[in-house]
């Protein structure tokens, strides 16, 4: 997957979190509806956590929601800006 493709899919993954914390299941529903791939969701979710774009609001293994970190900003036109 090219860098541009990864960033495009990452925006799909992060979009549901623009309105506030969401569970993994809620994020997954939106992502799969728009991209159609469970494997891609799992790998991008791990990538987003590793790079610090999202953080879980509870301990590992819990069903706690995820939220955007300060590395991801929502600009005035409603688009995401990701600090690489």
Two structure tokens written together for 82 = 């990701």
Looking at residue 45, what is its pLDDT? 95
Quick check: pTM over 0.85?
Answer: yes
Q: How confident is the model at residue 77 (pLDDT cuts 50, 70, 90)?
A: confident
Residues 3-52 have pLDDT tens digits of 899 999 999 999 999 999 999 999 999 999 998 789 999 999 999 999 99
Instruction: Please check whether residue 13 is in contact with residue 51, taking contact to mean a CB–CB distance below 8 angstroms.
Output: no
> What domains are defined for the chain?
3-82 (1.10.10.10)
Looking at residue 81, what is its pLDDT? 82
- How open is the CA angle 52-47-82, to the nearest 5 degrees? 50
């Amino acid at each position: 997957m090219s860098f541009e493709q990864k960033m495009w899919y990452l925006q799909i993954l992060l979009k549901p979190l623009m309105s506030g914390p969401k569970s993994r299941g809620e994020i997954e529903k939106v992502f799969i509806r728009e991209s159609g791939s469970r494997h891609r969701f799992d790998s991008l979710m791990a990538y987003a956590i590793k790079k610090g774009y999202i953080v879980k609001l509870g301990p590992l293994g819990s069903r706690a929601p995820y939220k955007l970190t300060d590395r991801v900003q929502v600009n005035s036109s409603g688009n995401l800006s990701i600090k690489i």
